[in-house]
Amino acid sequence: MELSDSMLGIASEGAFDNDPYTGMLPWNYELVVLIDDIRKLEVIGFFGGHAQSTSRQVSSWDELNALLSEAQFTTHQLVVRPDDEYHPECRKGIKDLESLKEAFDWATNLSKKGNVFVENDLRAHTNPTRMSNILKATQDLSRKMNSVCPECESPGFWITERKKGLPCSSCEALTNLPIANVWSCVKCAYKKEEMLLDQIKADPSKCDYCNP
């Protein structure tokens, strides 16, 4: 924004991890940020979802071929390295069988024991699964930009906190289940609490007193 002397900027950044539920599936978090220097505000769109990030060490061309459908090659591109994931040299953006064979031969020649490390290219333009996650983060940003603070009319009025404390249906103790959403403005101090009306009482199985 500084270099182009722009008052409006939009940027994205992603991270890869294991899924937050089982910790076993490849997961991708995407963040899209709008910086508006005219209205002095920052609005953030976010999405977490499945990642296409297969990776494996192989020692033959056949072994590599067996991996291709899991890696969703050729819709998703590949990176090839000699030895293992730590080798400093690599070939990126491999998108057809011919260049894959070339990269495989190159890596085999450079490797110590004939092993080659193959993984999905995670750069957004080479990985359509990531593109679709960035799209969803951008849709989240767009929903937030279209939500306006009732107090100061700034865009970006959104849920920032989920309050816990839904009462137990048997003993009335407060549980850890959500009871309300807190909406906050990104510009002024205005906040609004919105009660969640889908459940009025918590099941005693979720209560620390009834079911310790």
Q: Does 171 bind Zn ion (CB under 5 A)?
A: yes
Query: What SS3 class is residue 132?
Result: helix
Residue 49 vs 167, nearer CB to Zn ion: 167
Q: Does 207 bind Zn ion (CB under 5 A)?
A: yes
Residue 73 vs 157, nearer CB to Zn ion: 157
Residue 126 vs 175, nearer CB to Zn ion: 175
Q: Does 41 bind Zn ion (CB under 5 A)?
A: no
The minimum distance between CB 141 and Zn ion, in angstroms, equals 18
The minimum distance between CB 6 and Zn ion, in angstroms, equals 24
Q: Does 170 bind Zn ion (CB under 5 A)?
A: yes
Applying CB under 5 A, which of residues 19, 102, 151, 203 lies at the interface with Zn ion?
151
Render 12-60 in DSSP notation, one character per residue: EEEEEEE-TTTS-SEEEEEEEEEEETTTTEEEEEEEEEE----EEEESS
Applying CB under 5 A, which of residues 1, 188, 200, 205 lies at the interface with Zn ion?
188
Torsion of CA 38, 157, 42, 32, to 10 degrees: -130
Task: State both tokens at 117.
Answer: 């490390």
Gap between the Cα atoms of 70 and 56, Å rounded: 11
The minimum distance between CB 8 and Zn ion, in angstroms, equals 19
Gap between the Cα atoms of 11 and 32, Å rounded: 6
Give residues 89-128 in contact with Zn ion (rule: CB under 5 A): none
CA torsion through residues 30, 137, 11, 80, sign? positive
Residue 48 vs 204, nearer CB to Zn ion: 204
The minimum distance between CB 179 and Zn ion, in angstroms, equals 15
With a CB cutoff of 8 Å and minimum separation 6, the contacts of 58 are 64, 67, 115, 116, 117, 118
Residue 107 vs 207, nearer CB to Zn ion: 207
Residue 101 vs 201, nearer CB to Zn ion: 201
Quickly list H helices, the chain.
61-65, 97-110, 128-145
Binding residues vs Zn ion (CB under 5 A)? 149, 151-152, 154, 168, 170-171, 173, 185, 187-188, 190, 204, 207, 209-210
